[in-house]
């Protein structure tokens, strides 16, 4: 089951092994949303090697809070946003602009929308630890 992300959460922590995935969803209102970014910081317990990972995103118009079981999941070749820098010590960021959200979420006059994110491990025999957070505002890393 995907984990719910809210705007006021501190970092969500997690870990994925090679080719394993964790899913997260973020409901949005296309009429009140501004630009925002999703950051996945690759972190590890002290003196432990950390693996690399990637972050993908897909938008579900009309999804809101309900029926997540029927949503398509972001996959290796099915996504609308991808962050994969290939470094196990640098964060992954997907920046989402309000124009894209309004365009995709207003499909067939929908008034609600959800974004589904996938974090997938990319290093064989090594766990990828991470912290995930949503930032919004004009400076997405320092919220207004």
Mind listing the pLDDT tens digit for each residue in 101-140?
Answer: 777 777 656 667 888 899 999 999 999 999 999 887 655 5
In this prediction, residue 11 has a pLDDT band, given cuts at 50, 70 and 90, of: confident
pLDDT, average across residues 87-109: 81
35 in Cβ contact with 134 (< 8 Å): no
Angle at 14 between CA 70 and CA 97, to 5 degrees: 60
Evaluate if pTM is beyond 0.85: no
- Judge whether 14 and 116 are in contact, CB under 8 Å: no
Q: Which domains does the chain have, with CATH numbers?
A: 3-136 (2.60.120.380)
Least confident interval from 15-19, 23-27, 34-38, 44-48: 44-48
Confidence of residue 76 (pLDDT cuts 50, 70, 90): low
């Amino acid at each position: 089951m995907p984990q719910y992300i809210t705007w006021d959460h501190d970092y969500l922590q997690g870990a994925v092994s090679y080719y394993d995935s964790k899913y997260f969803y973020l409901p949005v209102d296309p009429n009140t949303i501004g630009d925002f970014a999703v950051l996945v910081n690759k972190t590890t317990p002290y003196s432990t090697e950390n693996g690399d990972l990637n972050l993908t995103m897909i938008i579900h118009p009309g999804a809101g809070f309900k029926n997540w079981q029927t949503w398509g999941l972001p996959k290796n070749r099915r996504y609308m946003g991808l962050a994969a820098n290939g470094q196990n010590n640098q964060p992954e960021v997907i920046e989402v602009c309000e124009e894209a959200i309004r365009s995709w979420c207003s499909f067939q006059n929908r008034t609600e929308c959800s974004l589904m994110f996938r974090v997938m491990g990319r290093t064989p025999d090594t766990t990828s630890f991470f912290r995930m957070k949503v930032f919004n505002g004009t400076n997405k890393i320092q919220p207004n």
